[in-house]
Amino acid sequence: MATDLRVVGGDLVPPSAERRHLLSVSDLGRNDVERLLATARSFAQSQERENKKLPTLRGRLVINVFYESSTRTSSSFELAAKRLSADTMTLKSSGSSVDKGESLKDTALTLSAYDPDVIVLRHPEAGAGELVARHTEARVVNAGDGKHQHPTQALLDLYTMREAFGRLEGLQVAIVGDVLHSRVARSLVQALKLVGADAIFVGPPTLLPDGIAPTSHDIDAIADADVVYVLRMQRERMLAGANFVPSLREYAERWAITPARVREGQRVMHPGPMNRGVEIDARVADSAASLVVDQVRSGLVVRMAVLYDLLTAGPVAVETAVGVA
């Protein structure tokens, strides 16, 4: 029988006692990130046992509300809640009252009547998490809102990088592709800044925002990076009226991550889903340099850590039996 899991690491600062949400990376300080990553590490060790289930959140209710399609995020939040013994249910916009025109506010009020401890929300419009947080007593975790934020993705990416390199401080990360429309890039660049890593944006000039990180439209700019973080290139960016790039072919020619462009020792990441042959060459995606599957595995333990962290306000207990490097 697994016992209640304790988070380890003597110098970690406990979460603040007030009710918290995780809507944006800007809700986190460096201490919070360190604590969450350490907690995730502990959970990763628990996941090596035969019985992977922990009783920590027994009797708690986690509701996942997904207004956008998702494979990785929705499945990992659901599994994370189950592994922590929380009750969980997942609501998708199709097949629910959203189909009948129910507003997000009413959905929030309705679900709040079940007294959930956490609402995990994925929504196509920026600001959805802030709106739900105003209408529920539950803690709200933003699982992606429009082009705004996807904080748990940034945390799992940090976790993956630390596992691969043993450190975060001083890492060089090149974020390649459609940064402008990417909540993943926006969250990640903030998170990297928090832990002392550096980011550069590389891609078509029309798809790189100004002012938050250095930019380059020359793919050679990825050469100095430890991590090449590849973003999904969406087909609709080429449609008439958008014209961000002339064609997928031209994009791939100039900015796709091919074996020739990956230097020895570099690691390649992608938040998924990948367009093989567009932004990433299949040979790179399946190579030893790729951390894509590690990212998915990290997603589970990081989301367990986020749920655990939001629902435990007390000081972090230290258990030396499960050590943290």
Q: Which residues are at the interface with other proteins (CB under 8 A)?
A: 103-105, 123, 125-128, 130-131, 145-149, 183, 186, 190, 209-212, 241
Contacts 24+ apart (CB under 8 A), 159-164: 159/37, 159/40, 159/41, 159/298, 159/301, 159/302, 160/269, 160/291, 160/294, 160/295, 160/298, 161/197, 161/227, 161/267, 161/269, 161/291, 162/37, 163/294, 163/298, 164/267, 164/291, 164/294
Catalytic amino acids? 72-73, 100, 122, 150
How far is the C-alpha of 88 from the C-alpha of 103, rounded, in Å? 22
How far is the C-alpha of 156 from the C-alpha of 37, rounded, in Å? 8
1 CB burial (10 A radius; 0-12, 13-18, 19+)? exposed
Beta-strand relationship, 87-92 and 61-66? parallel
| Residues in Cβ contact with 133 at an 8 Å cutoff, skipping those fewer than 6 apart | 21, 23, 140
Q: How many CB atoms are located within 10 Å of the residue 95 CB?
A: 8
| 52: three-class secondary structure by DSSP | coil
Q: Residue 152 belongs to what H/E stretch?
A: helix 151-165
